[in-house]
Structures are given as structure tokens and as C-alpha cells.
Amino acid sequence: MGGGVVFDVHAGPRAYVRGSIGVGFFVGRPSLEVVDHTTGEREIRTCKLLQAATGD
């Protein structure tokens, strides 16, 4: 428990962190992972914006 990602951020290069939710017993388990530039760019291009729930 209490996992996370630690890395140095510098002006110029881009850093990509992938977030996901794993299965837990009562609640989901968040997970963060630093990914390389190629993977980060590719996964961002395939993202789709979800519409907000209206609550109706």
C-alpha cells in the first residue's frame, strides 16, 4: 500500500505517467507507472473524451 511514482521533471522533455485502477476486495486499487515517450504519445492519441453524466 502507499505506492506511487517518483521521478525528476525538467524543463523540455515530456514525462508520461499511466494511471489505472486494479481490482481490490472492497475498493479499486490505483496504480501509477512511468512510461516511455513513444508509449505515452501513442496512448494519448488513442484516448477518447467521455461525456459527463447528466444525473437524469
Show me where the domains of the chain are located: 16-45
Q: Which residues contact 33 (CB under 8 A, 6 or more apart)?
A: 5, 17, 18, 20
Tens-digit pLDDT profile for the chain (56 aa)? 456 778 788 888 888 999 888 888 888 888 888 899 999 999 999 988 888 877 66
Q: What integer pLDDT is reported at residue 3 of this predicted model?
A: 64
Please state the pTM of the whole predicted model.
0.64
* CA nearest to 31, candidates 51, 4, 50, 52: 4
Residue with cell string 476486495: 25
